[in-house]
Structure 1
């Protein structure tokens, strides 16, 4: 062996052999790296599958719409442990489909990859995909605004017609896709809005059945200006009485403070309102003079009243009842040719029940009440005549009996009066006639 090592021809042969082996190794690696999808795999140290690898597509996006390209695929890596681990972490490789130069139609296209180290082998699943290429069209659609939480707009505000910029949006797709579009809508949330605002709103496409469509639009949002106004009007307040007063109580006045309020709403609604009658007073709950707070009821379409509460003052009088007797009946219209006597009441005096404030009733007397009957144009005979009474304005009078019964008779030709008649007040100075025995 020592002799061989000393032989320079032997050493030259060894060097030549090593050079040939190195050359072959280099060319084998180069050939492998030039083939993107070798099959079957050469034997490696480890194999690992990665899912969720995105797929890139290369084609003229201004002219065509392509369907059938998966968003993500799975790839299998094979190689030395450290190389596979590094590729898995860095993911510097790309899976793609190249459709440049293709015209509209349906094709089966292989998925390719790039960015793979020469000492790493990669396989894509699926290896091929079927794609459909269609001509791209662009169409403009008007944008409709839909309000969200419109019922939560601050009270007292009115929402006018929105202003959309741009008012139309371009949508790209195939002829079939564009024909499905029934509505282009932008949503604006009005919660808490109390003044004119401009908001950026996302565009959403719908078909005729209300299903959302996933198509590309020239702009994904529009600017929507929401005009907010607060029309107002001053109106008077009215009181609505409910229930019945307890016996012995009279309401003398009901006062509302303030007597007018500002109401807010749309102009069309306010133009038809002249007053509010929503202040309710339940008389069945009133037992004495009182003051309480009441809410202002809002008619349909009115969003706010200012103030929303008012003070209501109810003044009452507790009534007292008193019977006043011996009120003489005054006779009006008695003919000079007739005489009259009372049958009921026989004494020509009546009783009256008086209702009113206790302080007034206590001082009432018969002299303050006037009672009368009118027998004008009546002929001889017995008659029921309605009794008329009057008294102070701040009391209520109630007759014990409604009618008086009187008997009328012709005077005797001798000029003597009919016997048995009591003295009667008349309309001739209330002179009393005396009957002769």
Structure 2
């Protein structure tokens, strides 16, 4: 076989065969093209297709409704280039279906055209359609307003009253379609709304019982919808919660909220279960000074209060301190007399003081005067009451109530 390809005559033969096959293929394609052209160009020398030409319906629209007519059709124009181009660009012709004189029911009819110059041929696609003619009927329906995205309202907000203006629309279609109407409504988006929606224009939608939207004539096509957005609130008392005990040396005198009540906002469903609001627990073990602290409120889900949701709490502590070895003073000792203490020894004793934390924290031993009155005491041993002078509002307890002394 290698010898064949080395032969010039073999190669020439193969080339000739390919040339003949190519010629036959091209000739067949040209014949097919000419046949197609003859179908499209019985006359004239050019063709152009105009897409999306509106289809008009010729019928008594006051009495009948028609289904099955396409909204648009394609028109292929043939003819001389000048007329063809102008007609295709201007589209100053009509495509229509003539149903005048036909009775109710189903009919097979042709699409027709008017306004196309006589020297152009026109081919409409689709050429034939099946239509249904039905008696026209009109009926009034109530319109409902359906707010949606209610789950995207801010916390505490809820839908109040809704209103449609007008509250009714007139729907026109065939009797069969009118009987299918189950729902006539408008939709209002309330996502993130914090204020009422007033007279928003929205289109009317018509559905059957299965939720399928129906194509009907609605008058008016749109209505004004209003949706009330509410943020209900109620005033409830505040209770203060605590945990733990004050550090050693301190006790809780009082704790109270600076506001007896707070206004709580939320939906009515949330608010109906709220009779009071508690603060977050105040840990007393961390407090060593009287004063005010800001504490958050323990609010149920869906409830809120103005600002940050915190409240000011006033804490009053009572403090107890011990002053050791405070000297005991002696008053009214007689001339020439001398006094010595048997108990307490060293003529001093410990005292424990209690009062408000602000007052007690400022005290020192010098603020107290411990004394006994030796007036009239004769030589010998005596039990003498001990008196402690202290600042106002301070409770003092001494280590001893009496002193054992000896007068010499």
TM-score (normalised: structure 2):
0.60
Please report how far the alpha carbon of residue 133 of structure 1 lies from its aligned counterpart in structure 2 after TM superposition. 0.6
Residues 175 and 297 of structure 1: CA distance in aligned 2, closer, same or farther (over 3 Å): farther
For residue 97 of structure 1, give the secondary structure of its aligned residue in structure 2.
Answer: strand
Provide the residue aligned with 2:258 in structure 1: 257
Larger CA deviation: 166-175 vs 251-260: 251-260
**Aligned-residue offset at 1:102:** 1.8
Using the alignment, how far apart are the partners of 2:313 and 2:301 within structure 1? Answer: 23
**CA offsets per residue over residues 42-99 of structure 1, 9 Å max, x none?**
4212112232222111212222121111112211111122222222221111111111
2:213 alignment partner in structure 1: 212
Is 1:67–1:131's contact at 8 Å kept on the other side of the alignment? Answer: yes
Indicate the SS of the match to 1:122: strand
Pair member with larger Rg: 1
Name the SS for the 2:161 alignment partner. coil
Instruction: Determine the structure 2 residue equivalent to 1:325.
Output: none
The separation in 2 between residues aligned to 1:90 and 1:150, in whole angstroms, is 50
Cα separation, 2, equivalents of 1:68 and 1:222:
29
> Which shows bigger deviation, 184-193 or 267-276?
267-276
Structure 2: give runs of 5+ residues left out of the alignment.
Answer: 1-38, 323-351, 366-394, 397-408
Unpaired runs of at least 5, structure 1: 1-38, 322-353, 364-393, 396-437
CA shift, 1:198, in A, is 2.3
Cα distance 1:214–1:282, how it changes in 2: closer, same or farther (>3 A)?
Answer: farther
Aligned twin of 1:101: 101
Aligned partners of 1:62 and 1:159: how far apart in 2?
A: 42
Report SS of the residue matched to 1:89. Answer: helix
- Return closer, same or farther for 1:75/1:271 CA change in 2, 3 Å cut-off: closer
Q: 1:283 matched to which residue of 2?
A: 283
SS class of match (1:182): strand
Tell me, what secondary structure is at the counterpart of 1:145?
strand
Partner of 2:62, secondary structure, is coil
1:55 aligns with 2:51: no
Shift of 1:109: 1.0
User: What's the counterpart of residue 25 of structure 1?
Assistant: none
**2:64 is equivalent to residue 64 of structure 1:** yes
The aligned residue for residue 234 of structure 1 is: 235
- Residues 303 and 129 of structure 1: CA distance in aligned 2, closer, same or farther (over 3 Å): farther
Cα separation, partners in 2 of 1:202 and 1:304, compared to 1, 3 Å: farther
Q: Tell me, yes or no, if the aligned pair for 2:63 and 2:135 is still in contact at 8 Å.
A: yes
Residue in 2 aligned with 1:390?
none
| Distance in 1 between residues matched to 2:275 and 2:227, nearest whole Å | 29
Alpha carbons 2:200, 2:225 under 8 Å: kept? yes
Note the alpha carbon deviations across 1:116-147, whole angstroms, 9 max, x for none: 12332211122211111111222322222111
Kindly state the Cα deviation for residue 280 of structure 1 after the two structures are TM-superposed.
0.7
Q: Tell me the SS of whatever aligns to 1:179.
A: helix
For residue 204 of structure 1, report the CA deviation from its aligned partner: 1.4
Aligned position for 1:142: 142
Contact 1:143 1:184 in 2 (8 A): yes
Length, aligned pairs only: 296
1:380-403, Cα deviation, whole Å (9 max, x unpaired): xxxxxxxxxxxxxx99xxxxxxxx
> Cα–Cα, structure 1 residues 307 and 195, in superposed 2: closer, same or farther, change >3 Å?
farther
In 2, distance between residues paired with 1:304 and 1:102? 71
SS at 2:201 equivalent: strand
Question: Is the CA contact 2:247–2:288 (under 8 Å) kept in the aligned structure 1?
Answer: no
Secondary structure of the corresponding residue to residue 56 of structure 2: strand
Report the CA distance between 1:224 and its aligned residue.
Answer: 2.2
Q: Given the superposition, is the C-alpha separation of residues 64 and 295 from structure 1 closer, same or farther in structure 2, using an over 3 Å criterion?
A: farther
The answer to whether the Cα contact below 8 Å between 2:41 and 2:47 also exists between their aligned partners in 1 is no
The CA deviation at 1:287 is 4.7
For residue 60 of structure 2, give the secondary structure of its aligned residue in structure 1.
Answer: coil
Aligned match of 2:204: 203
Rounded to whole Å, the distance in 2 between the matches of 1:206 and 1:304 is 42
Greater CA drift, 78-87 or 67-76: 78-87
